[in-house]
Structure 1
């Protein structure tokens, strides 16, 4: 294990970010409700991975399939997502955002981006660009991790 101060600083920053999100920091900053929780996470998955089925939602959210089915059903009932038969495999149902679901996701993007702008407001354009490059690379590394040492 690398016990460098840089690795420790990154780990502490990750923990601080996770804790601030758990405390509903974004909701507090906005001064009201923001799309959040597992049901909203379904919309994020559909937007990022469409077309996706319930199994794909379960995998992306690291929940079991019955939980994913329940979350998807709620998104459909709320008019935020719709189901369509897969034309290539009639046994499979694909998920897509409705206009209302897309509008909710778009609003969440705008708000989160405004928060990033506030946090990095005193950064130079080069600093923002470098952070964007490195943070995207860091996040991509997480998506490629496999279990084990």
Structure 2
């Protein structure tokens, strides 16, 4: 069914956003990974993988990140981000490196193991998206691939705290 009324379209998008937020909050993908045997029960907590995501995104932009940067991106306090950094360091997923521009700062860099972990997480997420959209037409999948990033960018601009 195609909804043509603008108010109904907006309401449908809002409801989908709420559902996605709830799925994120209950860490639905991490639960799926555990159920399918993709996660080690003795491994780092799910929040460490979110921590790694932030570092990977910074790396993709050619940047490095500090604990404070990650805390801001994850919207957690400094002590929580420091605990996550310690867990990631202990697991060998990141390493500290002195900031050459400011000796008081430490940069967090993904290790080879951290990069492999992020690659596995991204592969799993992509497989989940492929599975969720397996019955979709190529046109529908292409439309979502085109429109969702656009929406995320525009919504992000609207909701930035500096506005």
TM score, norm. by length of structure 2: 0.79
Query: Counterparts of 1:123-134 in structure 2 under 5 Å?
Result: 123-134=136-147
**Equivalent residue for 2:152, pick from 133, 136, 139:** 139
The number of equivalent residue pairs is 147
Report Cα offsets for 1:83-129 as digits up to 9, x if no partner. 10111221111111111111111001111101111111122222222
CA distance in 2 between counterparts of 1:136 and 1:67 reads 29
**Equivalent residue for 2:55, pick from 25, 33, 46:** 46
Report Cα offsets for 1:41-89 as digits up to 9, x if no partner. 1100000013111111011000111211111111111111111011122
CA distance in 2 between counterparts of 1:148 and 1:86 reads 27
The aligned counterpart of 1:67 is: 80
Gaps of at least 5 residues in structure 2 are 1-5
Q: 1:148 to 1:93 in 2, by over 3 A?
A: closer
Q: 2:88 matched to 1:89?
A: no
The aligned counterpart of 1:19 is: 22
Larger relative contact order (C-alpha < 8 A, sep ≥ 6)? Answer: 1
TM score, norm. by length of structure 1: 0.86
Q: 1:13 to 1:76 in 2, by over 3 A?
A: same
CA-based RMSD? 2.3
Q: 1:49 to 1:143 in 2, by over 3 A?
A: farther
